[in-house]
Amino acid sequence: MNLVAGIDSSTQSCKVVVLDADTGALVREGRAGHPDGTEVHPDHWWRALSAAFDDAGGLAGVSAVSVGGQQHGMVLLDADGNVLRPALLWNDTRSAEAAAALTDEVGASDYAKRTGLVPVASFTVTKIRWVRDHEPDIARRVAAVVLPHDWLTWRLRGYGPADASPLGPDLGQLTTDRSDASGTGYWNPATGEYELELFRLAFGRDAVEAGDDVAGSGDAVILPRVLEPGDSAGSVHPSIAGEGVLLGAGAGDNAAAALGLGARAGDVVVSVGTSGTVFAVSSEPLGDPSGTVAGFADASGLFLPIAVTLNAARVLTSIAGLLGVDFDELSRLALEAEPGAGGVVLVPYFEGERTPNLPQATASFSGLSIASTTRSNVARAAIEGMLCGLAGGLDALRALGHPAERLLLIGGAVQNPAVQRIAAQVFDLPVLIPSPGEYVARGAAVQAAWALTGELPKWDVALDSTPEPDFRPAIAEQYQAEQRKVARAAG
C-alpha cells in the first residue's frame, strides 16, 4: 500500500492523518494539543507536530506529506533563523487600528483590487504594521516574515536555527503556497505575485521573494517563495522521517479543507471550528471593496472567496458552561425550544467580530423576559446566533453573484443534532453533512499525493446525513434586527 500523510496545524491542535494514496482511506491518525491564546511561540507547534507523528505511529511507509495550517499567523525570523517573538494569530485583534490605517492609506477599493481583501485585524499585513509601530526593536531585527505552515514546512526540510536544525538558517529556502500567501494582505491572487509596495507601506522596509539569490538582498525582508499547486517543497529531512519522504507545497486551512472535501463549483462550505468560515471554489478572482468577502486563492489553481467569523464552536462551549451542561444536553435543550427561541437572540461577538468587522464588539443577549428566559431558549439562541452569523457570510457570497447550490457543513460542532436541525432552518440551501473527518489534514494529504504522482487525486467523500430542508426566514430576520443594534453600538 502506498501511503501519504496530511498535517493540520490548527489554532487548538495538530492532527496527522495517514491515508492510502490510491483511495484516500484512513490508515492511522494522531493528535496533540496547542496552547490557548492569541499569540503562541511556534516551538509549541513543532513539539505538537512531533507528538502527533508519534501518536499516528510515525511516518513509516509514508512516501509524501504536506502541511495545512491556520492562516494569517505572523512568524518573524531573524537572520539566524530564530523566532523573534510569539506568533500573533489570526484571532488576535490588537492590530485593528493598524488595519483601519492601512485601509485609509490605500483605499478599500484599491486594496481589494490588488490583494482580493480589505485589511482587518486578522490579516498578516496588519500585524506587521502593529509590530513596526509598537515593537520597533524587534522590527529592526526581522529578516523574514512567514506563516505557520511555511515555518513548519521549512523545519520539516531540516532548516531552522543553527543549534536546533541539521541544515541551519537558510532563509532563501522558505516556501509557501498561493492559498496561504493570499491571506497575508500583500500578495495578489489575480497576478500571482507579491505586492511589495504594500508590504513596504505596512512595515517600512523593502521585501524580496525567497530564492537562491537572496543573500545579496541587503536589508530587504525575505518572503517565502510561492509554489504552484501540485509542486513539491522538497523532502523531509532524513533525521525526521528517514530517506525519500516528499513534501507537498502546503496550504492554508480552508483551502486544504476544500481539497479534502473535493468541493466543486456551486458548493458552499461552512466550517464550524474555533473560527467559522463560509467559502466556495470559484474560477475567477474576486475582490469585495466592502471587505466582507476576502478573495483568496485556493490550493488547486482556482480561487476561494471566503467570509470568516471569529465566533463559532466556542459560542456553544461558553453557553454550555453557563448552563452547566455538556454538548449532548445543550442539544436536547435547544431542540425543546421553538424556532426563534421565544424571541431570545444571542449576537455572539464574544471575541469581537471579523464579519462584520467589529473588533471591539461584545456579545449581547436580547429578548429576555420572565416567560422567555428558559434554559431551552438560551441553548437554542446560542446555536441560532452562531449559525446566523455564518449565514451572513453566505448572503455576502450570493450578493457578489457567486452561485450556491448546496451547503457542506463540517467541523466537530456539526455532529450536534441540534446544530444540524437548526442549520436546515437557518440556511436557505440543501444542507449536507459529510462523514466526520479531519478535512484540513485530508486536503494536505491530497496535496502530498499530487506532489508524489503528478496528478490531483479524486477520492470519494461519504455523507453522514442530510437534514430535511426546513428554512425559517423569521430566525434570520430576528437575528439581523438585533445584530444591527449591536453594530451601531460598537461603531
- Residues recognised as catalytic: 253
Q: Is the four-CA dihedral 108, 109, 111, 117 of positive or negative sign?
A: positive
Which of 147, 143, 128, 139 lies closest to 220 in space, CA to CA? 143
One-letter identity of residue 395:
D
Please state, in angstroms and rounded to a whole number, the distance separating the CA atoms of residues 411 and 6. Answer: 17
* Assigned C-alpha cell, 466: 442530510
**295, 189 contact by CB (below 8 A):** yes
* Those residues with Cβ within 8 angstroms of residue 370's Cβ, 6 or more apart along the chain or in another chain: none
Residues 46, 51, 52, 53, Cα dihedral to 10°? 90
Compute the distance between CA of residue 383 and CA of residue 47 in angstroms, rounded to an integer: 35
Residue 310's identity, in one-letter code, is L
Record the cell numbers describing residue 130, joined without a space. Answer: 502593529
168 CB burial (10 A radius; 0-12, 13-18, 19+): middle
- Quote the radius of gyration of the chain (alpha carbons, Å): 22
| Neighbour tally for 51: CB within 10 Å | 16
For residues 441 and 56, give the distance between their C-alpha atoms in angstroms, rounded to a whole number.
Answer: 13
Q: Are 63 and 4 in contact (CB under 8 A)?
A: yes
